[in-house]
Chains A and B, each alone.
Chain A
Amino acid sequence: MANQEMQVVDKKELAPESAELTRNGLYFTPAVDIFETDTELSVVVDMPGIHPDDIEIDLRENILTLVGESKEEQPKGEDLLVEYKSGGYYRTFRVNDLIDHDKIAASMSDGVLTLKLPKSAKATPRKIPVVT
């Protein structure tokens, strides 16, 4: 089962030109999994260090924006080893009309944000019986 090993992926700092944020501090592009079933689209985002209350999810004009703000204080002490930097996360996605915008649900646990985007009724596959 555990024949797979975790890989280290360097955090990608947000390129300044893509950040139309007027906030201070570091922002990273979080790693994301997106998968789709017949009825819904799931977006799973790794945001370690972010408290669920500090997540902002915004959907307007088909653009879904996810922001995680880091409220952590810089810990005291002398750095001996620095392998990652703490900061916020920012990422946007285009959401098409097949998603029922009113029914998007989000949950967060252990630094992982999960969004469920149900497809609207017209987008779910339907079998049409042929009457003879």
Chain B
Amino acid sequence: MSFWDVQRDPWFSEFSRLQRNMSNVLSYLNDSEAKSGNPALGRSRLFPPMNVRKQDNNYQITAEIPGVNADEIDLTVQGDTLTIRGERKTDTVGENASYHRRERSFGAFQRSITLPEKVDADRIGANYKNGVLLINLPLDEATGPRKIAVTNE
């Protein structure tokens, strides 16, 4: 077999493609490690950016969502999935206004996260203050170890 046959081997190109993808993944992981506190979780590119903390019997989520009405933030929990939905509306500017700088982003957003443990959906509380949404998710106490009596007949 000549050298040229090796070059045309479909497995060979497949391998180089795989290698390229792997190095992309690695560089992404390295990048996220440098910028986020937790290397395992990496960064997501979804709005809103959020922080999740585990407290004694509670998960606390904070998300930066400046400039949205509290009534227009739609928060739902279904099973173990928490979803935040909303829209940031464009500022009302006059008709003949001209922009000098435009750095702020507008539009709709939706983000779901999976809760690692069963939370008590009835006791979830949320509060929006100064552009930061704070969600408290108390853990369901019933999910702790439970003793099951074995009856003898």
Contacts of A80 in B (CB 8 A): 38, 41, 52-54, 59, 116
Contacts of A84 in B (CB 8 A): 49-51, 64
**A17 interface hit (Cβ, 8 Å):** no
Contacts of B64 in A (CB 8 A): 48-49, 84, 111
Number of interface residues of A (CB under 8 A): 41
Contacts of B99 in A (CB 8 A): 33-36
- Nearest to A9 among chain B residues (CB) is B105
Contact A35 B98 (CB under 8 A): yes
**Alpha-carbon gap, A36 to B116, bound state (A):** 48
Contact B69 A110 (CB under 8 A): yes
User: Which residues of B62-112 have CB atoms within 8 Å of chain A's CB atoms?
Assistant: 62, 64-70, 87-88, 91, 93-94, 96-109
Contacts of B94 in A (CB 8 A): 37
User: Which residues of A49-103 have CB atoms within 8 Å of chain B's CB atoms?
Assistant: 49-52, 75-84
Range, interface on chain B: 35 or more
**B55 interface hit (Cβ, 8 Å):** yes
**B48 interface hit (Cβ, 8 Å):** yes
Checking B38, B96, B102, B107 against A38 with a beta-carbon cut-off of 8 angstroms, the contacting residue is B96
- The binding surface of chain A is classed by DSSP as loop
Contact B91 A77 (CB under 8 A): no
Contacts of B45 in A (CB 8 A): 8
- Nearest to B69 among chain A residues (CB) is A110
Chain B interface residues toward A at CB < 8 A: 35-38, 41, 43-56, 58-60, 62, 64-70, 87-88, 91, 93-94, 96-109, 116, 128, 130-132
Contacts of B53 in A (CB 8 A): 75-80
Chain A interface residues toward B at CB < 8 A: 2-10, 31-38, 41-42, 44, 46-52, 75-84, 109-112
Contact B52 A47 (CB under 8 A): no
Contact A50 B108 (CB under 8 A): no
CB distance from A3 to the nearest CB of B (A): 8
- Nearest to A7 among chain B residues (CB) is B105
With known contacts A8-B49, A81-B52, A110-B66, A32–B41 Cβ distance under 8 A: no
Contact B93 A111 (CB under 8 A): no
Checking B60, B104, B108 against A2 with a beta-carbon cut-off of 8 angstroms, the contacting residue is B108
Contacts of B103 in A (CB 8 A): 9, 31-33
Contact B52 A37 (CB under 8 A): no
Checking A32, A46, A49, A50 against B101 with a beta-carbon cut-off of 8 angstroms, the contacting residue is A32
